[in-house]
Amino acid sequence: MRRTRFARAGLAVLLMLGAGLGAGTLPAAAGDSPSPGRSDAAPASAGLLAAMQRDLHLTKDQATARLAAEQGATAAEPTARRAAGTSYGGSWFDATDGALTVAVTRDASASTLRAIRATGATVRTVTHSARQLAATQARLDKLSAPSGVSSWHVDAKASTVVVSVAGGKLRDNDVQKFLARARQAGPVTVEVLPGAPKTLAAGTVGGDPYYTGNVRCSIGFSVYGGFVTAGHCGQPGAGVSGWDGSYIGNFQGSSFPDNDYAWVNVGSGWWTVPVVLGWGTVSDQLVRGSNVAPVGASICRSGSTTHWHCGTVLALNETVNYSQGAVHQLTKTNVCAEPGDSGGSFISGDQAQGVTSGGWGNCGSGGETWFQPVNEILGRYGLTLHTA
């Protein structure tokens, strides 16, 4: 029976094997204990809280309080953004204050400030509006970037567009020419990264979630009819097999570069469940929605190589310049990842955030990782997230 592997590994999976699973039910593998139940009021599973404690250096009470505060900030952000109107300069979660911060330009009226504060958010005055910064980023997106330029994104706190350059490449002539043109596009600052971003696919290794050809990647989130993952993991029509070599389905849609998303249909004895793997190290996490976590919020990642790791959202809507071409609208985090983690799940509390795209560094020395937001993938392919 194909599920015996999960009894040995002690895992619940995104794509369970067998038959007879009703919607919303989670069968345990033979010999497994069911995952601990939790009330709807609980911010996260015990395993996710444990991973946050490990990676963010928090106590259990601090991790629980932070998740509750982040949920409040996530809920308040759309109302605060509308209240700010044309003066809106961006927003982020401040972990120190435990609240949403909303940036506004100096022309914000007193009534606008009152309306923002009424949502529970604090206010910070900045030089440039979000619209101005987005226009600057859009101008950079039209430029051809050399390989030494890693990425660029809007930094609402600093009210600028940050261009990241790979270590040792700052004095490269092509990089200097790009930076000169970038500074002409609008408010731009430059940072130097220790490494260059790369996608996180890997050669075949036994016992991992799925393969296409000789590439191993990780399942992102279950949707009705399949799962979403990274686009660089496979082309439309490519066949996908599971950990045991059995056929799962095919890539139904895929985009890379420009985007980095894809979806795979599920059949042949496989089906979907609204779960992110804990890999036997932490409890599996149920998925209950896809509300977008703000900059500054905690976030965790599950992947087939490095399993559970947590960190913080650093930036939204970043353009990343991979060697294969630029990918737009990625979210930047300081969560580590390694080859084979591509396509895996990024989750904040019980809210799906996106699928792992690429990064630099590793889980020994640290690094940064980007993900493609899941709501964009759902909208692009008309998919519905499978939730508990």
Task: Give the active site residues.
Answer: 232, 260, 342
- As assigned by CATH, the class of the 199-381 domain is mainly beta
Structure pTM? 0.77
Instruction: Please state, rounded to an integer, the average pLDDT across all residues of the chain.
Output: 85
Domain covering 130-196 in this structure, CATH number: 3.30.300.50
- Domain 61-126 fold is GMP Synthetase; Chain A, domain 3 (3.30.300)
pLDDT value for 46: 77
User: Which residues in the chain are classed under CATH 2.40.10.10?
Assistant: 199-381
pLDDT mean by block of 10 residues, the chain; 388 residues: 30 24 26 34 71 91 94 96 97 95 97 97 97 96 93 96 92 94 96 83 53 92 94 96 86 98 90 82 83 96 92 97 96 96 94 96 94 98 95
User: Which residues in the chain are classed under CATH 3.30.300.50?
Assistant: 130-196
Secondary structure of the chain as H, E, C letters: CCCHHHHHHCCCCCEEECCCCCCCCCCCCCCCCCCCCCCCCCCCCHHHHHHHHHHHCCCHHHHHHHHHHHHHHHHHHHHHHHHHHHHEEEEEEECCCCEEEEEEECCCCHHHHHHHHCCCCEEEEECCCHHHHHHHHHHHHCCCCCCCEEEEEEECCCCEEEEEEECCCCCCHHHHHHHHHHHHHCCEEEEEECCCCEECCEECCCCCCEEECCEEECCCEEECCEEEECHHHCCCCCEEEECCCCEEEEEEEEECCECCEEEEECCCCEEECCEECCECCECCEECCECCCCCCCCEEEEEECCCEEEEEEEEEEEEEEEECCEEEEEEEEECCCCCCCCCCCEEEECCEEEEEEEEEEEECCCEEEEEEEEHHHHHHHHCCCECCC
